Amino acid sequence: MNNKALICMTAVLLFSCRATDVKSPESAHPSFSSDQTGEIIVDVMGMDEAKGQYMILLVAEDPSGETKFPGSGKNTVVALKVPARKGKTEVVFDEIPYGRYAIAVMHDINVNGKLDKLAPFLWPDEGFGFSNRSYPILPPSFEDAAITLDRPSLRCEIPISYFWRRYGYLPSLLLYGILAAL
């Protein structure tokens, strides 16, 4: 059981992890080549109760072309923590230069500043959502989540998915059952 469990866990880790840097002390910001600015209106569709806070991150495109999303702080334009509201929460980012951006939203219900997970590489117990209506099993790449700001106002709707709360912990039981049977 031990050897096979190790092999299966590493397979799960490799399959589900994404290479993302965590720390970067660089202060070079992405080159905003456009002088025109517009606003991005984000509609976050969450739970029916006003619980906890949303952590919203707006990431710009890297000038070199390879953007890590959410990545290190190098390409972050705005990071915001706001209390969650019932149903729809509207967040407006104004004076954003034209270009391509991606938005990540995490619903932190117990307000501890991070997304709680049972185990490092499982889905979070709290809510998460990304722009461009990508419903991920895994976090999307920057290209999948990118929206283009080329007008004075852009509206983006982000539904928050609560993976475990929707599927009722059944996938984790199945996963464990498979591992235990070996």
Partner 1 sequence: MKTIKICNKQVPTLNILMRNQPPQWIFLVLLLSSHLLVACSSVPGNYFQPREKESEIRAQIQDLSGKEGFVMLAIHFRKENYERSEMPLIAAKKRVTGSTMQFRFTGDFSPGEYGAVAFHDEDGNGELRTNQYGIPLEGFGFSRNPKLAGGKPKWEALVFSVQEPIHEETIRMMYATKGVSP
Nearer of residues 78 and 147 to partner 1, judged by Cβ = 78
Nearer of residues 34 and 110 to partner 1, judged by Cβ = 110
Does 52 contact partner 1 by CB under 8 A? yes
Torsion angle of C-alpha atoms 115, 123, 175, 48, degrees rounded to 10:
90
Does 153 contact partner 1 by CB under 8 A? no
Does 178 contact partner 1 by CB under 8 A? no
* Token pair listed for 33: 């080549």
In angstroms, rounded to a whole number, what is the distance separating the alpha carbons of residues 27 and 136? 30
Least spacing, CB of residue 72 vs partner 1, in Å: 9
Given a contact cutoff of 8 angstroms between Cβ atoms, the answer to whether 45 and 159 are in contact is yes
Q: How many CB atoms lie within 10 A of CB 31?
A: 13
Least spacing, CB of residue 32 vs partner 1, in Å: 9
**Candidate residues 7, 10, 11, 29; the one interacting with partner 1 per rule CB under 8 A:** 29
In angstroms, rounded to a whole number, what is the distance separating the alpha carbons of residues 93 and 82? 13
Does 102 contact partner 1 by CB under 8 A? no
In angstroms, rounded to a whole number, what is the distance separating the alpha carbons of residues 172 and 125? 12
Q: How many CB atoms lie within 10 A of CB 108?
A: 20
Max Cα-Cα span within the chain? 61
Nearer of residues 94 and 133 to partner 1, judged by Cβ = 94
Does 79 contact partner 1 by CB under 8 A? yes
Least spacing, CB of residue 124 vs partner 1, in Å: 10
Question: Which chain residues interact with partner 1 by CB under 8 A?
Answer: 1, 23-27, 29, 50-53, 73-74, 76-83, 85, 94-95, 109-111, 116, 118, 125-126, 164-165, 169, 172-173, 176, 180
